[in-house]
Amino acid sequence: MSQCKVWLDNYSGQYYPGAQIQGKVVLNLDGDTKLRGVKVKIICHEHTEWLGTESYYEDNEQKSRDTLFKGDNDAFATELILYGGQSGTTSLPVGQHIYPFNLNLPNNLPATFHGEHGSVSYKLIATVDRPMALDYEDQLIFVVLAPVNLNLLQQPDLLIITCLVDDPSKEERVQNNILVELNEVGLGAHGEHTYTFSVMLPMNVPIPNFSQCKLFKVQYVYKVDLEILMYPEVGNIEINQAGGHPGGFSIPATAGEFIPGYPYPEGPGTQYPPPVGGVPVYPRLLPSAPPSGFDPKAQEISGIPNRNENPHPDQPPPSYDSLNMN
């Protein structure tokens, strides 16, 4: 059975824009084969699609239906003829035929990309073009990395990808991706400070490059968020320090009252007026009840007057003016 295979000699997992692709096409023919030519082709294809809603009219009534929106475009393509020509036919005998090739990638190429609403992919296709018969064909997919110099951009952090479709109508969707999230911790500030960081993106961060693409475009946004964490210390507040009194707030003591930690109050001196004349000042600590065994009648017999009796029952009580003696 005849077959066609394509091989890459210098592929290590990715190519870069401007790189040279080296490989070979191997034909194994089981008989004489008529053909137009043997060729290899590189295609950078971009494809977008998503399921959306489309409005339409039926019997003068507006309706909607689910529709698959899609778009396809070859952002880059190049072809190299290894055997034969553009026109006419030729033939190859039975056996194995090997055709090496070298293809150069342009410098300005988009990067391989696979997203939610589309992709950018690279294919290497080897074809044996046969007239009036099915072609022999083999293909493989390879990756192209096209680094983006974020230093040339003003806002490089948040990746905003716009995908376009043109079938059955033109429409676009926006997809946001976080490229990398960097956290700087351990800052302490008392007052106003300015901090400058040299942010280095990791080498393995995939940053898509949609150069020459028709269905994709990208915007890079650099965002800085400041998060302030506060840890309030809960404890006792010294009142004497807050009030400016080293010894605490003064609490006036009443007469005869002792407060722990405070000295006995001094005599009022001339700060207070003297007691009103004629009004006896009884001591504070008087017995609340007569002692046991007290008999007022026995007190009368002994000649001690009873304090509850008025010595002059016929006289009126003294007036306030008579008691207020100057």
Q: Over the stretch 51-67, which tens digit does the pLDDT of each residue have? A: 888 777 888 888 888 88
Q: What's the token pair of residue 22? A: 């080296």
Please say if the pLDDT value at position 79 is more than 60. yes
Per-residue burial over 227-248, b = 16 or more CB atoms within 10 Å of its CB, e = otherwise: eeeeeeeeeeeeeeeeeeeeee
Q: Which residue has the higher pLDDT, 163 or 247?
A: 163
Residue 44 domain flag: yes
Contact 54, 168 (CB under 8 A): yes
Residue 98 has a pLDDT of 95
Give, in order, the Cα–Cα distances in Å from 276 to each of 65, 99, 254, 320, 321.
106, 134, 20, 11, 11
Residue 35 domain flag: yes
Residue 300 domain flag: no
Dist. CA 301–CA 266, nearest whole Å:
45
Could you write out the three-class secondary structure of 269-302?
Answer: HHHCCCCCCCCCCCCCCCCCCCCCCCCHHHHHHC
What Rg value do the Cα atoms of the chain yield, rounded? 53
Q: What is the mean pLDDT of the chain?
A: 71
Q: How confident is the model at residue 287 (pLDDT cuts 50, 70, 90)?
A: low
Residue 154 has a pLDDT of 46
Mean pLDDT of 256-274: 53
Residue 120 domain flag: yes
Q: Which residue has the higher pLDDT, 130 or 64?
A: 130
Total number of domains in the chain: 1
Beta-strand (E) ranges in the chain?
Answer: 3-8, 20-29, 33-35, 37-58, 61-84, 90-92, 95-104, 113-114, 118-129, 136-142, 158-165, 171-178, 216-221
Of 4, 126, 117, 136, the C-alpha closest to 52 is 117
Residues near 132 by beta carbon (within 8 Å), at least 6 away in sequence: none
Mean pLDDT of 299-312: 56
Dist. CA 222–CA 153, nearest whole Å:
9
pLDDT in tens, 168-191: 656 665 655 555 555 555 555 555
Q: Which residue has the higher pLDDT, 98 or 213?
A: 98
Is the peptide bond prior to 280 cis by the omega test (within 30 degrees of 0)?
no
Task: Sort 83 into a burial class: Cβ within 10 Å, 0-12 / 13-18 / 19+.
Answer: middle
Structural domain harbouring 21:
3-53+66-142
Residue 298 has a pLDDT of 58
CATH of the domain at 124: 2.60.40.640
Residue 103 domain flag: yes
Q: What's the token pair of residue 245? A: 């009194």
DSSP states of 137-170 as a string?
Answer: EEEEEE-B-----GGG-SS-SEEEEEEEE-BSS-
Give percent above pLDDT 70 in the chain: 47
Residue 138 domain flag: yes
Count of alpha carbons within 13 angstroms of residue 101, beta-carbon side: 26
Please say if the pLDDT value at position 290 is more than 90. no
Q: How far is CA 257 from the centre of its chain?
A: 65
Please say if the pLDDT value at position 117 is more than 60. yes
